[in-house]
């Protein structure tokens, strides 16, 4: 589960400027969302998330948004609601970098665990989450809206321990100094 980012992906991730997602980003992010997801969030969903005070971030390269995500913080736990990288910038470490930022935020607010839901067929995302310490804990049948073919996909619920427990697990898994698995 220890993160194994290559030097190339680290360099690519470093060329991205990360900052909070603001209301001025919503139209752009909603347009990207429609390209990326089968059941996309609308601009209204992003505005609602901002109004609710969720942690939301964007990554920019050359002034263009290439990654974004939304994290909901609750008492003792966090829920990753959205994590997206534009197709042109994938496999460069940006998804991992953004996830690491959200884990840091959740730990800053003393969350002890993070949950997320992902389509059971989403191999890239599940691989990323598993490598960063998430474990599947439940399956929600026919959770997602039907595809154009009329099929509803199941959701895999994944959980990751945060804080001290995460560092212990990382160290036991061979992460060495017990630092963040997503560095």
Ligand X SMILES: CC(C)(COP(=O)(O)OP(=O)(O)OC[C@H]1O[C@@H](n2cnc3c(N)ncnc32)[C@H](O)[C@@H]1OP(=O)(O)O)[C@@H](O)C(=O)NCCC(=O)NCCS
Alpha-carbon span 123 to 115, nearest angstrom? 17
* Residues in 97-156 that interact with ligand X by CB under 6 A: 116, 118, 122-125, 127-128, 131
Pick the closer one to ligand X by CB: 78 or 118.
118
* Residues in 24-63 that interact with ligand X by CB under 6 A: 36
Q: How far is the CB of 158 from ligand X (least distance, A)?
A: 9
Q: How far is the CB of 32 from ligand X (least distance, A)?
A: 10
Element (H, E) at 137: strand 135-140
Determine contact, residues 142/152, Cβ cutoff 8 Å: yes
The residue with its CB nearest to ligand X is 95
Alpha-carbon span 180 to 58, nearest angstrom? 21
* Residues in 72-101 that interact with ligand X by CB under 6 A: 83-85, 90-96
Query: Which of the residues 77, 112, 117, 130 is marked catalytic?
Result: 117
143 is catalytic: no
CB atoms within 10 A of CB 126: 17
Alpha-carbon span 140 to 154, nearest angstrom? 6
Catalytically active residues are: 117, 129
């Amino acid at each position: 589960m220890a993160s194994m980012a290559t030097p190339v992906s680290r360099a690519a991730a470093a060329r991205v400027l990360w900052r909070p997602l603001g209301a001025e980003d919503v139209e752009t992010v909603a347009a990207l969302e429609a390209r990326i997801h089968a059941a996309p969030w609308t601009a209204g969903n992003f505005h609602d998330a901002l109004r609710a005070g969720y942690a939301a971030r964007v990554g920019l390269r050359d002034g263009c948004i290439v990654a974004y995500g939304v994290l909901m913080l609750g008492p003792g736990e966090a829920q990753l609601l959205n994590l997206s990288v534009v197709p042109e910038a994938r496999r460069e470490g940006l998804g991992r970098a953004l996830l690491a930022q959200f884990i840091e935020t959740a730990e800053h607010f003393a969350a002890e665990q993070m949950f997320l839901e992902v389509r059971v067929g989403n191999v890239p995302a599940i691989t990323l989450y598993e490598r960063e310490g998430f474990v599947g804990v439940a399956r929600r049948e026919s959770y997602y809206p039907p595809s154009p073919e009329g099929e509803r996909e199941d959701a895999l619920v994944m959980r990751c321990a945060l804080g001290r427990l995460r560092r212990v697990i990382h160290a036991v898994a061979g992460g060495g100094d017990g630092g963040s698995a997503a560095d």
